[in-house]
Structure 1
């Protein structure tokens, strides 16, 4: 068990279209534990989002929380069009090989859920339990428009508190948080920029994101449903009851087809639950460690 309140930090080299890049990760728990839990974050977030969940599960798992390339401590890609699910899945396969993880439980929020969904639908996938946090094969296009309004926009804040306030303006759909909880979630989102702070991600992740049209989204949805239908592992779908990204209708479909996901909704939350609140942590814990 990891007795400290802070994780070990590591990295792994991964291949992309222009060469190699480094993907960083935070790791909790006993590194000799064969039970591996991988937690993958959302579009403009980073792996330290899962600190609370990782601390809660470090006694049972080796918990690994990567910064997807272009975010957090990881390198940025030379080619912005490389920012996409195929690259991210390849990077995760490289990470799992580094960890020598033949079997893994997966918790993925939004984009991190799509990475897990894609990997879980592959032949001989190592994922044996899957938690999809407020995401599915169909993403409501209006939510992409909303996210695109702030993704990659230049920003600079004088203090951590000022940055946290600004991030809260675009993150209220995460649901209620105490000031302490929000500051803990906000600090890893920032990097030093002269006499202040800026977002801790490559603004160029917005380039392929903004290239998504309704037609492209529809084609991606068709492929994603085919992948979802191939998943055979137990699957838990978390949904913010007020989510604008994952509709109730899509959640119902996910419960009826493919792995027939168990669906749990959180009241008073939109996109997406942060898995910081005790009730959210408990739902994930019971699913991962239950029969």
Structure 2
């Protein structure tokens, strides 16, 4: 991982849990550019956004904040496992915005982060200046969700840091042919934490276990109503070329309903695309440039 400079923050959730965030660039303020808040995937953390946050904060002078949800990364694990829900995590995002005195932000939501944005637009719509949805939309494909269930609950584990990148390539390489050896190494550093020299997934195992009851017959939420509520928000969708969670059909319908939406297909990537690679990074930069010109 690159050496971008960031500051570490801890703050309390509304129910007293100690949560963690990283900030890059200048602190949010009325005189600064509209801040970007990065929301990671289901079991992921702020380290996923390190390269992108470093780039955006240094090249554009934008304040960037990346969050660890409860139970992930450096945030405290919750004793009540029933709190690992989109609704509770949305409340935590609202609390984070209050902690950083952010009244309006551009949100980048990867997978679970995008689901939180669908909830946030109902709970606190005034917070959303614009949004980037990374490989997530109003319809979740069950096959992709089952694949996530299976690899998160697999008994296999990486036996060493040296073998961790190869282990991840074995799991996900078919969906991510574009990734280099360095990319797989960076992914390992983002996903795992070190415990006595052994890489261990950096999230509460209860989060993965909650998916074990998922089947092809499990009803999934229809999120078109909250998506339609984003019609007044500048919106971008990034879909991995090989995504099994977000379909091309869903993206077409999203564009029909939100005809000003920007869409980008991340070549050689599956769920969920690494946004700091040249293609997605350049597309997000162009989206931010368009936002700046429209203001």
Does the alignment reach a TM-score above 0.5?
yes
User: Counterpart in 2 of 1:252?
Assistant: 252
Say if 1:227 and 1:180 are closer, same or farther in 2 by CA, change over 3 A.
same
Deviations 1:11-56 (A, max 9, x none): 21113xxx42122111100114442100111112111111111111
Q: Deviation at 1:288?
A: 1.8
Q: Deviation at 1:86?
A: 0.2
User: Counterpart in 2 of 1:150?
Assistant: 151
Alignment counterpart, residue 25 of structure 1, candidates 12, 21, 26: 21
Secondary structure of the residue aligned to 2:38 is strand
Q: Deviation at 1:153?
A: 4.0
**Alignment partners' CA distance in 2, 1:238 and 1:24:** 26
User: Counterpart in 1 of 2:6?
Assistant: 7
**Alignment partners' CA distance in 1, 2:153 and 2:24:** 30
Secondary structure of the residue aligned to 1:125 is helix
User: Counterpart in 1 of 2:211?
Assistant: 209
Say if 1:270 and 1:124 are closer, same or farther in 2 by CA, change over 3 A.
closer
Q: Does 1:243 align with 2:239?
A: no
Say if 1:152 and 1:87 are closer, same or farther in 2 by CA, change over 3 A.
farther
User: Counterpart in 1 of 2:55?
Assistant: 56
User: Counterpart in 1 of 2:228?
Assistant: 229
**Alignment partners' CA distance in 1, 2:71 and 2:55:** 27
Q: Deviation at 1:287?
A: 0.5
1:140-179 equivalent positions in 2, closer than 5 A: 140-154=141-155, 156-172=157-173, 173-179=175-181
TM-score of the two chains, using structure 1 as the length reference: 0.89
Q: Deviation at 1:130?
A: 0.5
TM-score of the two chains, using structure 2 as the length reference: 0.88
Structure 1: 5+ residue stretches without partners: none
Aligned residues: 282
User: Counterpart in 1 of 2:199?
Assistant: 197
Secondary structure of the residue aligned to 1:210 is coil
Secondary structure of the residue aligned to 1:236 is strand
CA contact (8 A) 2:262 2:287 kept: no
Deviations 1:214-258 (A, max 9, x none): 56533x12xx11111111201001111221110111001111115
Shift >6 Å, 4+ stretches:
none
User: Counterpart in 1 of 2:106?
Assistant: 105
CA contact (8 A) 1:109 1:134 kept: yes
Q: CA RMSD in A?
A: 2.0
Say if 1:199 and 1:26 are closer, same or farther in 2 by CA, change over 3 A.
same
Q: Deviation at 1:109?
A: 1.0
Structure 2: 5+ residue stretches without partners: none
**Alignment partners' CA distance in 2, 1:259 and 1:21:** 40
